[in-house]
Homo-oligomer: A and B are copies of this chain.
Amino acid sequence: MDIAKEVTSIAKRAKSASRALSGISCEAKNKALLAMAQSLIKNSQILIRANKKDLLAAGGMRLNAAMIDRLRLTEKSIQQMSASLKAIAALKDPLGRVIRSVKRPNGLVIKKVSTPIGVVAIIYESRPNVTSDCIGLCLKSGNAVILRGGREAIHSNIAIYNLLKAQLRRYNISQDAVGIIKSVDRKAVDILLGLNELVDLVIPRGGEGLIKAVAEKSKIPVIKHYKGICHTYVDNKADLNLARKVAFNAKVQRPGVCNAMETLLVHKDIAKKFLPKMVKDLKDAGVEIRADAATRHIVKGLKKAKPEDWGREYLDLILSVKVVGGLEEAIRHIDDYGSGHSDAIITKDKKRAERFLERVDSACLFVNASTRFTDGYEFGLGAEMGISTDKLHARGPMALEELTTYKYKIFGKGQIRT
């Protein structure tokens, strides 16, 4: 019962703090963000020491190399966290924005104005930078935040949290505006997900299992951050050198993340010219290719793709490759197997690019660029709460704008309805 008390108390204080946040100026919040950014740099050794505890424990937790890579804090990654906080401080105030304003024939003035959501909980795994990104984005957008990181990063998360929270006091912002659940017991999450009277939104960020479990159990609205089965389609009107470079980057630069390419689609008319060199580049980088019959006809000795490979998020140096009859077949393939995350077309033909952009139903659609750019910082949003694969409220990189809702403010002079 202690866990229930702890979690409920954090949520109650967050709710109360979220109301008080409406009285804090954007200037004060920006100053706090800059102080937080500075504090991370100044105390980087404290963070690296705390992170060492997590890294030492990681051995006993069956973490693979990619997970340990995500967990590790370095001077460089701390600088990136600090840069994100500074970037958030530099962004425009997302609150009080008049989205629409209208004067009705009866004289009523109706303003649709952006406001904070209230209390946002985030349940995440591995990466300690999520702790500071979420604190920064929620503070700037006037939301109280409740953090629940994975146990593999618990020391790092608490160390970051403590540093950032201490800065709030200096600017008269209630420290209850940032809460952290320190218990690593899974019960804590179950309890949190039942507090729909106190928490307005839950964001799960991590493996598919975590997200499914949260979505099923939660009484609180959830914005899901599911997998990325990202495609690159190389059109017959593509600059093939550009295509090779971009597709290579999308697969190889960081294969363990959701915006990495998992399937390469190639127009049949350029397949013979394009595929041998492309496959060689990829194989030289250690990529395992799983190919359809047409591809295997062009490049011998490749592994056969199984039907289930087309919908697979490898998160690894593995790639599905398919030859398609043209743009429309590529679109239908993405309809059938994509996850609505990020997909790219490589073409010099403007009309085809437009058709791809209109017709493919994904959060982020690229023309002649790598899917790896789907990222809050790369989009100029400072940081991100995650990358939503939902279509409602937030889609793609979720940052300040998506952390707001709105209310209507209606100004009358005694109008009544007849």
Contact = CB atoms under 8 A, between A and B. Distances in A.
B412 A367 contact: yes
Interface stretch (A156-164, A169-177, A391-399): A391-399
A363 interface: yes
A320 interface: no
Interface in A198-240: 200-201, 221, 223, 239
Contacts of A396: 407-408
A3 interface: no
A416 interface: yes
Interface stretch (A74-82, A102-110, A276-284): A102-110
Given A22-B359, A373-B108, A366 B412 contact: yes
A26 to B, nearest CB: 14
B118 A391 contact: yes
B392 A201 contact: yes
A363 B408 contact: yes
Contacts of A370: 412, 415-417
B221 A390 contact: yes
A341 to B, nearest CB: 11
A309 B67 CA distance: 54
Interface stretch (A178-186, A241-249, A296-304): A241-249
Contacts of A115: 361
Interface residues of A, number: 64
A194 interface: no
A409 interface: yes
B410 A366 contact: yes
Contacts of A405: 391-392, 395
A412 B373 CA distance: 10
Contacts of A409: 357, 365, 367
Nearest to A259: B417
A413 B335 CA distance: 25
A214 to B, nearest CB: 14
A414 interface: yes
Interface in A100-134: 100, 102, 104, 108, 110, 115, 117-118
B367 A253 contact: no
Nearest to A405: B391
B392 A392 contact: yes
A245 to B, nearest CB: 6
A121 B224 CA distance: 21
Contacts of A86: none
A17 to B, nearest CB: 14
A64 interface: no
A395 B417 contact: no
Nearest to A361: B118
Nearest to A379: B110
A368 B411 contact: yes
Interface of A: 19, 22, 100, 102, 104, 108, 110, 115, 117-118, 200-201, 221, 223, 239, 242, 245-246, 248-250, 253-254, 335, 357-359, 361-370, 372-374, 378-380, 390-393, 395-396, 401, 405-418
Closest 3 CB pairs of A and B: A369-B412, A249-B416, A393-B393
